[in-house]
Structure 1
């Protein structure tokens, strides 16, 4: 079954609870782009809030991560070639995605060859996947979370990251949800219980500084080789 149309709503801006004062570090972080597939995004009016703000924010965070050398991870649900694996998820959401177009990441966020892709089967990107092992392999213990839906997959993935000793940075204005109330609830829960709620501006500012530093180091090394 298709996701019902989602009425436009303004992204909540906070302030949100902040029980920790973590600092985002490009050398320790990875970006999780959660389920930004056509099947889910078709429910939004892209020229209206929240997606009119959230999607461009995701794009600029993704680009900032690439410039700063931060790994980019995509989760995506599979189409109907594996219906038996949906289990009781089907009781809530039906058979889900159809193989083909439904599965595609939206064009604005199309992955590069060097990005990491994780097939997921439940709300959390950590359930029945090797996401935790991948983060460990890349030496990452911070996770920038963007995508859909704020109060389901994003919130639960962030909470499970916390329970795996990975610090989640929950980018409140780089997410979509079913409603402002549910979006607000997700930010409040994460801020109180499992992570740090941040804005896209905060994330891109930090990553841009890291990218500049990275570029300066690479230039220094290159200049040294030339000499």
Structure 2
């Protein structure tokens, strides 16, 4: 039997309404709330993989400008998805939620073998998190309503890539096989 974890990638103020605000992100907030609530009711861990950049030195800031700088309001999870007691928060300085973070060891200690990857952006941070998750041996589930990108084209390309390259189960919320 699979042991799931919901991974919420970069649902931060700067990505939803701030310096890198994405109008499409607003569409996934309510489905993400429902998914996180359902996960908690099933004792499925909810893990937040949050950009937490160091101003002036992180490479991503060279490409994207200042965003999600550690200690700022922009680096906080949006109020609608505030982590609850018992949730896990994994700060990250690169696209992947795994790269030089505690993600893998945390998931191992929780006995997780299947990731439900959500959040922003399907073709970037979600993609890199799925890549590393796949390489560590996790199965990947991506509910369509809970991830997005700046453009519909990037979103669809991201989902297609996750399905083709990592065998992700791209499904709807109602089709999550838990």
TM value normalised by structure 1: 0.71
User: Structure 1 segments of 4 or more deviating over 3 A?
Assistant: 50-53
Q: Tell me, which stretches of 5 or more residues in structure 1 are unaligned?
A: 1-24, 208-227
Give the CA deviation at 1:30: 0.4
Equivalent of residue 179 in structure 1, options 139, 151, 159:
151
Matches within 5 A, 1:76-155: 76-78=50-52, 82-86=54-58, 88-98=59-69, 99-155=71-127
Q: Secondary structure at the match of 2:83?
A: coil
1:141 deviation in Å? Answer: 0.7
Q: Give the distance between the partners of 2:72 and 2:131, measured in 1 at CA.
A: 31
Q: CA deviation at 1:175?
A: 1.1
Q: Distance in 1 between matches of 2:96 and 2:35?
A: 21
The count of aligned residue pairs is 173
Checking the alignment, whether the CA contact within 8 Å between 2:118 and 2:147 is kept in structure 1 is yes
Partner Cα distance (2:162, 2:175) in 1 = 17
Q: Are residue 28 (structure 1) and residue 6 (structure 2) matched?
A: no
Structure 1 residue 113: deviation in Å? Answer: 2.1
In structure 2, the gaps of 5 or more residues are: none
Query: Between Structure 1 and Structure 2, whose CA radius of gyration is higher?
Result: 1
Query: 1:44 — aligned with what?
Result: 22
Question: 1:29-82: per-residue Cα shift (whole Å, max 9, x none)?
Answer: 10100010001000234xxxx345311111100000000010010011225xx2
Whether the 8 Å contact between 1:158 and 1:170 is mirrored in structure 2 is no
Query: 1:197 corresponds to which residue?
Result: 170
What secondary structure sits across from 1:150 in the alignment?
coil
Deviation of 1:95 (Å): 3.0
Contact map agreement 2:22 2:150 (CA 8 A) in 1 = no
Out of 33, 52, 60, the residue aligned to residue 34 of structure 2 is: 60
